[in-house]
Structures are given as structure tokens and as C-alpha cells.
């Protein structure tokens, strides 16, 4: 059965506005909000705690087993800090958010992490579906949501039978 609505990943470093963008996009398009952090917490999809990075290591296989059926149906906004985990065949747009605050937070470290996120997106998906957007202000968020909503509407027009 073809997907008649796209899957969109919203990604970026902590604090760039992923959750705000994802929620607003979900509200403006009717796409389902997939809060990956919440799914990981609710289902305890962690393997171990990484002391060096001070974060839990996610069991990506169990996570994918949980959400892949929903992605196969389409119509999702996926909010998570990485994107290359999701199968390319199921993702129609990857939005990598950037903000000026990255330089103010921990300059080199955050900039390096952000570049890794962007590089992962570009390596994991067709370059035509990866978009880098600024997220420095509420005006940027509004403009981004309008732009992504327009992309969504065009996707639907271009794929009346689904993909």
C-alpha cells in the first residue's frame, strides 16, 4: 500500500527548536507528531548509560521496530536529534535546523556537532530532500513552518497516488 502522505524529519542540536517546529508543523498540516525521545523513554529503549557523553545509548533496533510500521503508513513529523537512523525509503524531507545560539553555547563543540548532524543527513539521504533552515527567532520559526507546509502541499499534489 503506497504512502499518501510524506514523512518529515526535523533534526538539529539541542536548543535549536526541533520540538517547537515539529509541533507547529503537525498542527498546521495534520501530520502525526512522532516525538522519538518520548517513545524511547516510554518504552525504555535504552541499552546503557554513556558516562563520557552523559547520555543514554538508545537501542536503535527496538526503536525502529516500534516506529517503522507508523512510518510505512506515512503522514509523520519526526522530532529527533539525529536522522540517519530512519530508512531512506521512508523519509521524504529532512529539515536540519541551525541557530546562532550554537556559537554562543559552546562555540566549537556545538558547531562541530551541528556539522556532524548536517553531514549525516546529507550522507544518509538524497541531497534533494535535505534542507538546512535557520532557527534564530520566532519569525524564523513562522517562516520555516510556512515553507515546510508549502512543501507538504506540493508533495501531496505531486504524489496523488502516493509513493
Which residues lie closer than 8 Å to 42 by C-beta, 6 or more apart?
none
Which residues lie closer than 8 Å to 16 by C-beta, 6 or more apart?
97, 98, 99, 101, 102, 135
Does 19 count as an annotated binding residue? Answer: yes
Helix (H, G, I), strand (E, B) or coil at 58: strand
Helix (H, G, I), strand (E, B) or coil at 156: helix
Does 18 count as an annotated binding residue? Answer: yes
Does 20 count as an annotated binding residue? Answer: yes
Does 28 count as an annotated binding residue? Answer: no
Does 162 count as an annotated binding residue? Answer: no
Annotated binding-site members for ATP: 15, 17-20
Annotated binding-site members: 15, 17-20
Amino acid at each position: 500500500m503506497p504512502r499518501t502522505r510524506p514523512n518529515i524529519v526535523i533534526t538539529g542540536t539541542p536548543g535549536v527548536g526541533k520540538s517547537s517546529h515539529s509541533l507547529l508543523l503537525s498542527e498546521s498540516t495534520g501530520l502525526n507528531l512522532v516525538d522519538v525521545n518520548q517513545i524511547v523513554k516510554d518504552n525504555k529503549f535504552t541499552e546503557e548509560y554513556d558516562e563520557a557523553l552523559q547520555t543514554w545509548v538508545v537501542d536503535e533496533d527496538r526503536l525502529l521496530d516500534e516506529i517503522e510500521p507508523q512510518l510505512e503508513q506515512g503522514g509523520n513529523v519526526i522530532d529527533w536529534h539525529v536522522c540517519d537512523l530512519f530508512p531512506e525509503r521512508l523519509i521524504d524531507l529532512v529539515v536540519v535546523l541551525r541557530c546562532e545560539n550554537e556559537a554562543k553555547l559552546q562555540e566549537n563543540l556545538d558547531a562541530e556537532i551541528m556539522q556532524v548532524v548536517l553531514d549525516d543527513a546529507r550522507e544518509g539521504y538524497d541531497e534533494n530532500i535535505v534542507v538546512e533552515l535557520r532557527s534564530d527567532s520566532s519569525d524564523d520559526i513562522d517562516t520555516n513552518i510556512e515553507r515546510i507546509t508549502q512543501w507538504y502541499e506540493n508533495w501531496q499534489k505531486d504524489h496523488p497516488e502516493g509513493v
